[in-house]
């Protein structure tokens, strides 16, 4: 998160927009942390487990 301002300025955001983007990114991180901690890590990882299973099944079926 330290280099976010540099990253957002590099891709073309202005100073004010860069600061707003940092705030929004931090809020999304906090909300995601609360959701994962309330639902449990196994429930949060369930979609990625399914996608991994499907992609592995697809690759080995050839």
Confidence of residue 3 (pLDDT cuts 50, 70, 90): confident
Predicted confidence at residue 30, as pLDDT, reads 92
Predicted confidence at residue 46, as pLDDT, reads 86
Question: Is-contact 1 26, C-beta < 8 A?
Answer: yes
Question: Is-contact 7 24, C-beta < 8 A?
Answer: no
Which residue stretches of the chain are H helix?
4-10, 15-39, 41-44, 46-60
- C-beta atoms surrounding 8 within 10 Å: 19
pLDDT digits (tens, 9 = 90+) for 19-50: 788 888 889 999 988 888 887 777 878 888 89
pTM above 0.75, yes or no: no
More confident residue, 31 or 8: 31
Predicted confidence at residue 48, as pLDDT, reads 87
Domain boundaries, the chain: 4-60
């Amino acid at each position: 998160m330290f280099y976010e301002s540099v990253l957002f300025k590099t891709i073309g955001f202005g100073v004010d927009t860069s600061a707003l983007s940092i705030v929004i990114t931090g809020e999304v991180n906090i909300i995601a942390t609360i959701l994962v901690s309330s639902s449990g890590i196994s429930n949060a990882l369930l979609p990625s487990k399914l996608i991994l299973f499907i992609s592995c099944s697809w690759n080995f079926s050839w």
